[in-house]
Chain A
Amino acid sequence: MADDNKERSELHRRQRVKNWTLLAALVAFIVLVYFVSIVRMGMYDG
């Protein structure tokens, strides 16, 4: 019983870390695309 709980909490912990990592990656990607757009638009300014 105690082992089951330990396993479940370990699984939840790993899943939580994965979710936060994925969120961070997506946010970083959006920020990156934003700044790349700014730079690329600036390239045509003269």
Chain B
Amino acid sequence: MTDTSADIEVETTGVALPGGASVRDYIALLKPRVMSLVVFSGFAGLIVAPGYLHPLLAAVAVLCIAVSAGAAGAINMWYDRDIDAIMERTKSRPLPKGRISPEEALSFGVTLTLFSTMLMGLAVNWTAAILLASANAFYVFIYTMWLKRSTPHNIVIGGAAGAFPPMIGWAAVTGSVDLQSIVLFLIIFMWTPPHFWALALFREGDYAKAGVPMLPVVAGTESTKRQMLLYTLILVPITLLPSFLGTAGPLYGAAAMLLGLRFIYLSVQVLRDDGVRYAKRMFGFSIMYLFALFGLMMLDRAPGLLSLFGLTGAAG
């Protein structure tokens, strides 16, 4: 692993002023784009969970989920700074560019992890705090340090880290882990492989160059496409379960079915496509798909909102 801090250069126009990291660089360390999905799914978990949580404590819970996810991202960037410098997609990050030193990034991540976990425990409840710490530890130790560089199934198992937020949101309200919250976990868990493999299909060269054994690099594109379809076929029935368990209502169920059929259609097209056109399309759709699923789930739960349109949402 190379230490990029040793290569920091002074540039007047550029970005690598020693000790001159801007606030924007620290925000970049938190992977804000990834954070948006984490926050949204965590918020959805809060909304659909049965029970009441004071709005301020709910806001604190969402803040803790966001900060903890960002902190895990910062520690991930600290550990992966060698391969980030090689990959096109990541080479402009603050660490490979030398704008932030590895030590700073690590201490920033660890500090935010401790703060967010303690705040969640003291302000909300300790079940949510333990889940938050587990998600963080899973992402850092299991995914980043172990699986990512050692197995093509890194995304399958590592995806669990990203699947925690709705379960944390749920636990913030109920103080427990229930079957319904495990289903929310499973939706993101099963969604992660086709989502990331779609990305890996058109970024294959990048991963190969960095020596990251993503499935298309190790097993080839055909095998990856077949597995994407398999995971999508398992995912779609799982997305319907919230309707049957009372977490969401029929509006969600019908929309999840339609969106799921579209997702299956795209993964079949990816399988038939020789290029990466449909992989790109599927990647884009997969992000919208997850936002739509959790958005609809919340809409189905929003008190009084559906009655405005003459519809009834989930019971309870």
Contacts and interface: CB of A to CB of B under 8 A. Distances in A.
Interface residues of A, number: 18
A43 interface: yes
Given A36-B56, A36-B123, A3 B21 contact: no
Interface in B166-186: none
Contacts of B157: none
Interface string B116-139: 000100110000000000000000
Interface residues of B, number: 17
A6 B12 contact: yes
Most chain B beta carbons < 10 A, residue from A6, A29, A36, A40 = A36
A29 to B, nearest CB: 8
B12 A7 contact: yes
Contacts of B20: 10-11, 14-15
Given A14-B22, A36-B57, A39-B54, A7 B123 contact: no
Interface of A: 3, 6-7, 10-11, 14-15, 17-18, 21, 29, 32-33, 35-36, 39-40, 43
Interface of B: 10, 12, 17, 19-23, 26, 54, 56-57, 60, 115, 119, 122-123
